C-alpha cells in the first residue's frame, strides 16, 4: 500500500477516489459531482454511480472512512444491488462511533419528524423504505484487515446511517402507512480480498 492521509497507509485506489481540489482564485474547491463522476467512471466501472454520489464523493477524506475502508482495493471491489427483508437489515452492524447517531434517529416517534426532504418522506409513507439504496459491506469473510479497522460481522453499514435509524423508527409506526413488511434496496459490497 502506498499513500498517506492522516498518517495512515491507504490503498492507491482509495487515493484515486478522492475528489480533486481545484484552485479558484484564492480558494480551493473540490471538483463538482459531475466532473467527479466523469473522471472516476472511466477507471471504476465496478462502482455504481449511486455509491459514488452518496458515499465516496462525500466521505473519502473522513478519517473514520479512511481507517475502516481506505485499505481496500476498489478496483477489485464489487457492489451488487439487492433487495433485503427486515430480518436481513437487522443483521447490519453500525460502526461504534456512529451508533449514537443511528440510535437518535431510531427514537423518532413519527414520519413527519424525519430530517429528510419531502421526496424521501413521501417515499417512506408510500413504500415503507428508503428511496436511495444504503451501502453495506459483507464482512463475514474478510481476513487480514488492518488493526485500525472496525469491521463488525456479518455485515457493516458503510453509508446510510440516517436511513438505518429511520428504518428502526419506522418499524414501530409503519402500520399507519403500510400493512406489510417491504423489501429494502441495498448495495452489498464484497472486497474480493479474502
pTM: predicted TM-score of the whole model, two decimal places:
0.92
Q: What is the Rg, in whole angstroms, of the alpha carbon atoms belonging to the chain?
A: 18
Contact (CB, 8 A) for 168 and 106: yes
Cell triple for 104: 437518535
* pLDDT for position 143: 79
Which residues is 92 bridged to in the sheet? 155
In whole angstroms, what is the distance from residue 90 CA to residue 164 CA? 9
* pLDDT for position 180: 81
Please give the residue range of the domain that contains residue 68: 4-190
Which residues is 84 bridged to in the sheet? 184
Report helix, strand or coil for 179: coil
Nearest to 117 by CA among 131, 102, 136: 131
* pLDDT for position 193: 61
In whole angstroms, what is the distance from residue 105 CA to residue 58 CA? 21
* pLDDT for position 2: 43
pLDDT per residue, tens digit, the chain (194 aa), is: 444 445 678 999 999 999 998 777 777 778 999 999 999 988 999 999 999 999 999 999 999 999 999 999 999 999 999 999 999 999 999 999 999 999 999 999 999 999 999 999 999 999 999 999 999 999 987 878 899 999 999 999 999 999 999 999 999 999 999 888 889 999 999 997 64
The conformational region for residue 33 under phi > 0 = left, psi -120 to 50 = alpha, else beta, is: alpha
Report helix, strand or coil for 82: strand
Cell triple for 71: 485499505
* pLDDT for position 7: 61
* pLDDT for position 54: 97
How does DSSP assign 23-41, residue by residue? Answer: EETTEEEEPPHHHHHHHHH
How many structural domains are present in the chain? Answer: 1
Amino acid at each position: 500500500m502506498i499513500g498517506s492521509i492522516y498518517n495512515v497507509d491507504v490503498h492507491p485506489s482509495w487515493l484515486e477516489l478522492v475528489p480533486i481540489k481545484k484552485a479558484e482564485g484564492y480558494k480551493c474547491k473540490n471538483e463538482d459531482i459531475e466532473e467527479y463522476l466523469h473522471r472516476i467512471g472511466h477507471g471504476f466501472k465496478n462502482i455504481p454511480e449511486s455509491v459514488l454520489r452518496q458515499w465516496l464523493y462525500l466521505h473519502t477524506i473522513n478519517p473514520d472512512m479512511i481507517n475502516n475502508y481506505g485499505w481496500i482495493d476498489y478496483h477489485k471491489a464489487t457492489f451488487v444491488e439487492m433487495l433485503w427483508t427486515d430480518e436481513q437489515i437487522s443483521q447490519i452492524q453500525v460502526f461504534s462511533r456512529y451508533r449514537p447517531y443511528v440510535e437518535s434517529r431510531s427514537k423518532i416517534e413519527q414520519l413527519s419528524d424525519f430530517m429528510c426532504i419531502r421526496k424521501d418522506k413521501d417515499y417512506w409513507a408510500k413504500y415503507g423504505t428508503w428511496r436511495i439504496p444504503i451501502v453495506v459491506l459483507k464482512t463475514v469473510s474478510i481476513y487480514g484487515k488492518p488493526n485500525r479497522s472496525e469491521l463488525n460481522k456479518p455485515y457493516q453499514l458503510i453509508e446510510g446511517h440516517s436511513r438505518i435509524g429511520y428504518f428502526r423508527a419506522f418499524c414501530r409506526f409503519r402500520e399507519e402507512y403500510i400493512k406489510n413488511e417491504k423489501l429494502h434496496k441495498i448495495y452489498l459490497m464484497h472486497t474480493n480480498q479474502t
